[in-house]
Amino acid sequence: MPSCLKCGTALAVNEEGVAPVLCDRCAGVATGRARRAMAAGDLGRYPVTTALLAINIIAFVIQLLSGQALTYWGANIGPLTLSEQY
């Protein structure tokens, strides 16, 4: 009979002969832990990624509020780049 990988509790096999990997109690703990991590956010653990994300969002907002054409900010416009105006 298969057993839970965490606590060793015996697991029931269904009619197809398949058993879960974790018992209901251990699966509930793992699900709760994942749910809390998602709700709390993990951006504090990755400061470089958070900083790059903030820089991109700020640059995007500045572009929106400036009212200038996107070519001023370096947008790729097909006819201009194909005519060697990089």
Question: In angstroms, rounded to a whole number, what is the distance separating the alpha carbons of residues 41 and 66?
Answer: 31
Task: Please check the confidence at residue 82 and state whether its pLDDT lies above 70.
Answer: yes
- pLDDT, tens digit (0-9, with 9 covering 90-100), for 3-14: 877 788 787 777
With residues binned 3-state (H G I as helix, E B as strand, rest as coil), the percentages for the chain, rounded to 5, are 55, 0, 40
Asked if 32 and 25 touch (Cβ cutoff 8 Å), the reply is: no
Whole-model pTM: value is 0.42
- pLDDT, tens digit (0-9, with 9 covering 90-100), for 21-63: 777 777 777 676 666 666 556 677 788 988 999 999 999 898 8
Residues forming beta bridges with residue 10, ordered by sequence position: 3
- pLDDT, tens digit (0-9, with 9 covering 90-100), for 63-77: 888 877 777 877 777
> Which residues are within 8 A (CB) of 49 and not within 5 positions of it... i.e. 6 or more apart?
43
Three-class SS state of 13:
coil
